[in-house]
Amino acid sequence: MKKTVGLKEIYLIVRKRIWLIASITFVAVLIGAIATNFFMTPKYDATTRILVNLGNGKMLYNSNAVQTNVQLVNTYSELIDDPSVLKKVIRDLNLNWTTEELQGTLTVETSEQSQIFSITAETNRAELSVRIVNSVAREFKAQVQEFLKVDNVSLISPATVSASSGQVSPNLTKNLTVAVILGLLFSTGLVFLIEYLDNTIKTEEDIEQKLGFPVVGVIEHFGNQDRHRKIVDKKVPNTTRLEMFRKRRRLFRRVMKEKGEPYALVTFFQENSSISEQYRTLRTNISFAKAGGGLKSLVVTSAESGEGKSTTAANLAVVMAQQGKQVLLIDADTRKPTQHRFFDRNNRKGLTNVLTGQAKASSVLRSTILDQLYLMTSGPVPPNPADLLSSAEMEDVIRQAEEHFDQVIIDSPPILAVTDARLLANLCDGILMVVKSGTSEFENVRKAAHVFSEVNGKLLGMVLNDKKVRRKDRYHYNYSEH
């Protein structure tokens, strides 16, 4: 699939992974600082300046003389690193170097418009750099006097350790600047590479525009951060409210023993939260789809496991029951049942007992925290779940439930994992597919939807679950809390 990225998308990508960019850049700066301070050998330079004049010790300032002196500067600069000069410097300073090594430490700078040129020596010791550059200047002057028989070279400013020498490398500021630039370039490139390789669905637009399916609900991420939010309403205005308060508190204390479970039923424990409002919006959208009738039984499934189908089914059942409807929630995920834990009920008997003729449907119905909501747990795990769900007994269970309840919600196994979901699709009036933001992949969702089209299942739409929402973007939901 070809991906096009605009300025807005670029901004959102960078904002989403800004911590990765900052972390990599910080590591790059840290490595640069450590390398600069501990692994790079310091270099010091020292510079002396030399004036070239035409006459023997006489300063000539007419234009012709100056031009001639400039030409002499260019000639003399080539004599600086002459082996005869360098050998005398090595002998003078008692250096254990070759002339090539000494030549590598020297730099001569001239100007086309000046009679002055400079000699710079760079070594790993400031004092050595000063000694070398001053010795080179002296030996050069002596060489000119000896062979050219002229005294037209003057040392303007001999190098000294205190003033003329200084550390030139490593340059901490420069190295850190380079580290920041390289860190930003590498981290930003990595972020866009990750984004390019990321084939997961993240927004409603991904589903509607790229897959072509309607989105009937968006549920934002919730989890342990909800621990600090209210679990039950603070005000208890009447007896009915008091009973509900006590029921919630008892259930909360029991399910607290199982880590994370109480937060699955966010629509019950936090009725006035923004997430509960989103489930009510999902309920409303489903009611619009039911305007033509014939949607009493609803399968809730997903392409793969771990995408939030069971949590969606449970909370959808709760908000429908809160509307006053008689609702039955059936846990048909017999391989990995979940609903009995959400509602704190045992799973010794359930759907599989009914399908195998060991019990009647009415005998395995369980009351829940809401008077209008009943639960049929999955029951013991059978050796042949697909055979049971495709049996005539399963169809009888659904038809009987449709007769006695206003709404039947079935928690189905994932579509791509097993064949159970496609078997149930033919027995129910509609299908909701749950897609987890940042986890569900385009190809898997597309395959799952295609499975339902093959069996003529009625896909009502998709629920985008676990969408990451910034705090300030929640404002339009939170009006219900005040």
Alpha carbons 74 and 135: distance in angstroms, whole number: 20
Please measure the distance between the N-terminal and C-terminal CA atoms of the chain and give it in whole angstroms.
45
| Residue count (the chain) | 482
**What mean pLDDT comes out for the span 346-364?**
93
Alpha carbons 120 and 118: distance in angstroms, whole number: 7
pTM attached to this predicted model: 0.67
Q: Checking DSSP bridges between strand 327-331 and strand 215-220, what pairing results, if any?
A: unpaired
Q: Lowest-pLDDT range, 101-110, 165-174, 391-400?
A: 165-174
Alpha carbons 97 and 88: distance in angstroms, whole number: 12
Which residues, at least 6 apart from 389, have a Cβ–Cβ distance to it below 8 Å?
Answer: 332, 334, 355, 420, 423, 424
**Which DSSP helix (H) or strand (E) runs through 393?**
helix 392-404
DSSP-based three-state secondary structure for 169: strand
Say how many C-beta atoms besides its own lie within 10 A of residue 87's C-beta.
14
Q: Checking DSSP bridges between strand 459-467 and strand 373-376, what pairing results, if any?
A: unpaired
pLDDT at 293 > cutoff 70: no
**Residue 474 buriedness (CB in 10 A; 0-12 / 13-18 / 19+):** middle
What is the fold of 43-169?
Bacterial polysaccharide co-polymerase-like (3.30.1890)
Buried b (16+ CB within 10 A) or exposed e, 407-416: bbbbbbbbbb
pLDDT digit string (tens) for 38-87? 988 888 888 998 888 755 545 445 555 555 656 677 777 777 878 889 99
The residue extents of the domains of the chain are: 7-40+171-197, 43-169, 204-481
Q: Do domains 43-169 and 204-481 have the same CATH topology?
A: no
**What mean pLDDT comes out for the span 118-133?**
91
Homologous superfamily of domain range 204-481: P-loop containing nucleotide triphosphate hydrolases (3.40.50.300)
Answer yes or no: are the C-beta atoms of 1 and 212 closer than 8 Å. no
Is residue 402 very low, low, confident or very high in pLDDT (cuts 50, 70, 90)? very high
